[in-house]
Amino acid sequence: MSIPKITARNVSVSYGAKQAIDDISIDVDMDHVIAFIGPSGCGKSTFLRTLNRMNDTIPSARVSGDVRLDGQDIYAPEMDVVQLRARVGMVFQKPNPFPKSIYENVAYGPRIHGLANSRAELDVIVERSLTRAGLWNEVKDRLSESGTALSGGQQQRLCIARAIAVDPEVILMDEPCSALDPIATARIEELIHDLRGRYAIAIVTHNMQQAARVSQRTAFFHLGTLVEYGRTSDIFTNPKEERTKDYITGRYG
């Protein structure tokens, strides 16, 4: 087992009076893609959003527990959220490119974080990010066109390129393929394979085949609690918990 990048211990989140997740402990590391599965409303997305403090944008959300990135408490008062989110990138369920050109979409992060000293350096970052996201060959001749004019799958890869451009250590993906067709989904899954090892990756998915294909670790959430967490092969072939078995065999959810 490699050294964990993120360690979450006893994490609970509530929205006002409603408890969304309760006492979750999970590690995310560089060598294994971890998939969060479970029925709708089980808290898997909420948990994902605690890892880069995106729950901060919801005024009623209260987070307790301990989340560390390389041993550093990300909820500590001295933690700079801007730096945290640059290190822990995120890809959303619905592709959300900015209404700017393809180039400007990818250059957005490097610009706000001052990663490039010249236009030439920025060009290098943009090309590298688009290449890693498997989009470069499709868009290299039309970088100045609007990002919103791309197809859904291309938009999602653009969003991945945008996240990669700030050189994060962790990439969180919140159901990245749920708005895409099967072909676009397959390309994103290939991409996740390629990115593994360079980035620590956590992915929320509704699709159990997808979890089985792309991840090496799987965590099964149900009603805000972590039911089972282990090797993907074990979870899918030999689940310990009855509820996990029922879910992956399609008995509910």
Partner 1 sequence: MNGIVLLILIVGLGLIAWAVSRMRALGFRRRLGTRISSLPHHHGWYVALWTAAPPLLFLAIWAATSPALVTDMVLGTPAAAQLPPPGFERAAILSEARALAAGRAHGAFHTLSRTLAPAYDAAQARVDWIATAVVLMLALAGGTYAYLRVRPDFSARTRIERVILGLLLGASLIAILTTAGIVASLLYEAGRFFSVVPITDFLFGTHWSPQVIDPRDPGASLGAVPLFWGTFFIGAVIAMAVAIPFGLLSAIYLTQYAAPRARRIMKPVLEVLAGIPTVVYGYFAALTVAPAVRQFAVSIGIDWASSESALAAGLVMGVMIIPFVSSMADDSLAAVPNAMRDGSLAMGATPSETITRVMLPAALPGVVGGVLLAVSRAIGETMIVVMAASGVATLTANPFASTTTVTRQIVDLLTGEAEFDSPKTLAAFALGLTLFVITLLLNIIALTVVKRYRESYE
Inter-residue contact 7 to 75 (CB < 8 Å): no
Other C-beta atoms within 10 Å of 238: how many? Answer: 11
Nearer Cβ to partner 1, position 160 or 248? 160
Nearer Cβ to partner 1, position 104 or 228? 104
Inter-residue contact 84 to 52 (CB < 8 Å): yes
Residue selected from 39, 98, 189, 207 as contacting partner 1 according to rule CB under 8 A: 98
Structure tokens at 93: 């369920």
Residue selected from 25, 30, 75, 108 as contacting partner 1 according to rule CB under 8 A: 108
Nearer Cβ to partner 1, position 124 or 149? 149
Euclidean distance between CA atoms 235 and 231, whole angstroms: 6
Shortest distance, CB of residue 12 to partner 1, whole angstroms?
22
Residue selected from 89, 134, 153, 224 as contacting partner 1 according to rule CB under 8 A: 89
> Which range in 14-22, 50-58, 70-78, 243-251 contacts partner 1 by CB under 8 A?
50-58
Sign of CA dihedral 130, 135, 139, 145: negative
Write the binding mask 142 to 181 for partner 1: x where contact by CB under 8 A, - elsewhere: ------x----------x--xx--x---------------
Inter-residue contact 200 to 20 (CB < 8 Å): no
SS3 at position 85:
helix
Nearer Cβ to partner 1, position 20 or 90? 90
Picking from 75, 4, 90, the residue whose alpha carbon sits closest to that of residue 45 is 90
> Which range in 13-21, 104-112, 131-139, 204-212 contacts partner 1 by CB under 8 A?
104-112
Inter-residue contact 27 to 6 (CB < 8 Å): yes
Nearer Cβ to partner 1, position 171 or 227? 171
Shortest distance, CB of residue 149 to partner 1, whole angstroms?
11
- In terms of residues, how long is the chain? 253
Question: Which residues are paired to 196 by β-bridges?
Answer: 199
Q: Helices marked H in the chain — which ranges?
A: 44-50, 81-87, 102-113, 119-132, 136-139, 152-164, 182-195, 208-214, 232-237, 242-248
Other C-beta atoms within 10 Å of 70: how many? Answer: 13
Nearer Cβ to partner 1, position 158 or 227? 158
Shortest distance, CB of residue 91 to partner 1, whole angstroms?
9
Shortest distance, CB of residue 225 to partner 1, whole angstroms?
26
Shortest distance, CB of residue 246 to partner 1, whole angstroms?
33
- The contact set with partner 1 (CB under 8 A) reads 52, 54, 57, 59, 81-86, 89-90, 92, 94, 96-100, 108-109, 112-113, 148, 159, 162-163, 166
